[in-house]
């Protein structure tokens, strides 16, 4: 993907700089069944960037808002009836960073920070999520029922915290690990099927990527991943069974199995088998963006695995 100056583009659209800027209603129409429905292409990326700008206009966000500041985003006055728009903005930022930006570049993690801050904004629009005003974080999470806000806050927060070994350690010391576990467990309580088992995927990657001194656990990783993949032989010993119907239709479930279990375990042949199966299937109409992205990721992982044969 070509690098685009995202922040500049967003600023232009946010102030209505072109006659063809996307409207908030057009932006909201891109979100269907919890999926962002754009193509996996440069055109799709541009469309998503326009949507982000339009969503911020809908929320009344000033053009100079510092979205890297949790306080600045949190202090913005937004009517409660626009909470769903805040959630979509958090999801859109995650999707932009995860799908369209270069994973190793600092700007990508800045975008995740934007998404995390909007996620917390949504959570704290609920007066009972009062962790900043005398309440406990765990109590706030236990009372929260907005699965979308919980999920995208956590997804962005984990990615923002994984930029480097140093940021991972800093996140552990700052309590992000324990708070992420609370958020993910709450999603599993409320809607384990959300984003085709997204909380199970999150836990799978989470436990594999933790620093070794702070809880890395490959057995927990495969336990959670086995809830979203139809691989009875791989999963025979972990005690988990498939929990999400048609989980294989969402290709990222299987690419996560490869990336966060089979590759760390150096099970190259099994990894290749799973990846080739993902690449052999049609993308389909349910998850066009994420399945196209997952296939692109599968090609990268397949090349890595083949080097070890």
What average pLDDT score do residues 96-100 get?
Answer: 98
- Whether 3 and 111 map to the same domain: the answer is yes
Q: Are residues 60 and 116 in the same domain?
A: yes
pTM: 0.92
For residues 129 and 174, state if they share a domain.
yes
Read off the pLDDT band of 258 (50, 70, 90).
Answer: very high
Please indicate whether residue 168 or residue 139 has the higher confidence score (pLDDT).
139
User: How far apart are the C-alpha atoms of 308 and 190, rounded to whole Å?
Assistant: 41
Rounded to whole angstroms, the Cα distance separating 238 from 225 reads 10
Range of the domain at 221: 192-309
The domain total for the chain is 2
16's tokens? 């209505």
Q: Write down the residue that tokens 């001194």 correspond to.
A: 213
172 pLDDT higher than 50 = yes
Do 217 and 163 lie in one domain? The reply is: no
| Nearest residue to 95 via CA among 210, 252, 280, 200 | 252
Is residue 206 located within the same domain as residue 164?
no
Q: Do residues 265 and 159 share a domain? A: no
135 and 177 in a single domain? The answer is yes
When pLDDT is averaged across residues 112-123 and rounded to a whole number, the result is 98
């Amino acid at each position: 993907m070509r690098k685009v100056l995202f922040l500049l583009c967003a600023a232009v659209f946010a102030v209505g700089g072109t006659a063809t800027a996307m409207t908030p209603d057009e932006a909201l129409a891109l979100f269907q069944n919890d999926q962002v429905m754009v193509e996996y292409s440069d055109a799709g990326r541009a469309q998503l960037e326009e949507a982000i700008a339009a969503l911020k206009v809908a929320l009344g966000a000033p053009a100079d808002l510092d979205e890297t500041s949790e306080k600045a985003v949190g202090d913005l006055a937004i009517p409660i009836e626009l909470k769903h728009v805040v959630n979509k903005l958090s999801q859109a930022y995650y999707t932009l960073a995860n799908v369209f930006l270069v994973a190793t570049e600092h700007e990508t993690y800045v975008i995740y920070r934007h998404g995390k801050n909007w996620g917390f904004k949504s959570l704290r629009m609920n007066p009972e999520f009062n962790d900043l005003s005398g309440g406990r974080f765990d109590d706030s999470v236990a009372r929260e029922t907005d699965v979308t806000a919980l999920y995208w806050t956590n997804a962005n927060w984990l990615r923002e915290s994984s930029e480097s070994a140093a940021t991972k350690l800093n996140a552990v010391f700052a309590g992000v690990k324990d708070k992420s576990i609370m958020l993910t467990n709450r999603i599993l309580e409320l809607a384990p099927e959300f984003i085709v088992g997204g909380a199970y995927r999150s836990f799978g990657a989470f436990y594999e990527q933790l620093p070794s001194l702070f809880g890395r656990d490959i057995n927990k990783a495969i336990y959670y991943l086995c809830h979203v993949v139809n691989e009875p032989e791989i999963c025979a010993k972990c005690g988990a069974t498939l929990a999400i119907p048609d989980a294989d239709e969402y290709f990222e479930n299987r690419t996560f199995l490869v990336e966060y279990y089979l590759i760390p375990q150096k099970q190259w042949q099994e990894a290749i088998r799973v990846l080739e199966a993902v690449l052999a299937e049609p993308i389909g109409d349910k998850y066009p963006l994420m399945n196209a992205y997952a296939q692109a990721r599968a090609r990268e992982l397949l090349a890595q695995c083949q080097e070890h044969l």
